[in-house]
Amino acid sequence: MYSLSGRTAVVGIGATEFSKDSGRSELQLAAEAVFAALDDAGLSPSEVDGLVTYTQDGNQEIAVAREVGIGDLSFFSRVHYGGGAACGTVLHAAMAVATGAASTVVCYRAFNERSGRRFGQPDARLGGEPSSQGIEMSWHVPYGLMTPAAWVAMFARRYMHTYGATSEDFGRVAVAMRRHAAANPAAWFYQRPITLEQHQQSKWIVEPLHLLDCCQESDGAVALVVTSAERARDLRRSPAILTAAAQGSGAGQMMMTSYYRDDMSGLPEMGVVGRGLWEMSGMSPQDMQAAILYDHFTPFVLSQLEELGFCGRGEAKDFIAGGGIEIDGHLPVNPHGGQLGEAYIHGMNGIAEAVRQIRGTSVNQVADVHNVLVTAGTGVPTSGLILSQD
């Protein structure tokens, strides 16, 4: 494994206002976030020579470069698998910087997801595409299983059967995320906490998932600036050092529908990422003071805790009981409110929160933070990071 540990850093973060209808194009949103990230780092567009985004982002790198005023690009990359790309963008940027392919790289993700292309809608065309993914989807889309909520519901039901988890266990994740978001002025659900009773009374989306088990859909954008650790120390903000970065895909992996594995009650791809992070960093779960876990649906938060080694298989429901993942719990998770509470920007807003935690500037600051683990989308090939104080 090529080690990036300690060689690169995230030095700037920027975001638009998260909303249900931005009134701006995805290109405008991306440019606003990039400008904000560069300003945060104290850099100008002329100092950027690399751009990384998601395959699914509607903005080509050259379009963002033109809009922002970035000149020549020596590196650009697009990372696959939707939310699974979040930490992968930083990994690709860090590799470019560490190998000399670029000196300063901006990662970005922009969404008109609420007012434009809504991800959560049924799409019968998924099962008919002349591609490998179309073949995968053809096994279940024609029978009505064609939304992310439905795909995750299948996993959640099996997880409940195997480990005795309940809807209330999932609900405790939602309650914690909304409690964090309620204290975050940037969050869509600012000042709007929920109770476990409200979670249980919210309407069914696909059993066993209630409405409040599912993340919102948002307009907005987030950008991050990555450069060398040496250069970072001379910039405006204290850097978040990239201690480890990894990508992972599990055996028998499909696109949120890996139902043909021998065991479908876990997320093996997250296990691959976790092992990579611990090996590269020389750390363990006990060295993390906070975690930013991808929470598009509550059941996958439980499984991530297990795959990453914070608790044993089937023990996540006990790990989170009694506020275990809240700010004053044994592992604060998503102090910004996550995608369930702050906004769904395909996980990029979670990386921004990890940087704030390392800097000590979060609105929900965890005490004595030295290392933060971050994960990307689950149910798909995914990625992860460990960010640390310098």
Which residues are catalytic, by number?
294, 344
Q: What is the dihedral of CA 108, 109, 110, 115, to 10 degrees?
A: -170
Element (H, E) at 52: strand 50-54
Q: What is the dihedral of CA 226, 108, 16, 195, to 10 degrees?
A: -100
- C-alpha–C-alpha distance, residues 305 and 298, integer Å: 12
Cross-strand bridge partners of residue 374? 292, 385
Q: What is the 3-state secondary structure (H, E, C) of 105-128?
A: EEEEEEEECCCCCCCCCCCHHHHH
Tell me the two tokens of residue 206. 């696909």
Tell me the two tokens of residue 49. 């020579």
Q: Quote the distance between the C-alpha of residue 64 and its chain's center.
A: 22
Tell me the two tokens of residue 251. 């055996």
- C-alpha–C-alpha distance, residues 119 and 113, integer Å: 7
Assign 264 to helix, strand or coil: coil
Is there a contact between 85 and 346 (Cβ–Cβ < 8 Å)? yes
The alpha carbon dihedral of 130, 135, 137, 139 has a sign of: positive
Position 43: which residue type?
Answer: L
Is there a contact between 310 and 291 (Cβ–Cβ < 8 Å)? yes
- C-alpha–C-alpha distance, residues 324 and 310, integer Å: 11
The alpha carbon dihedral of 363, 34, 369, 308 has a sign of: positive
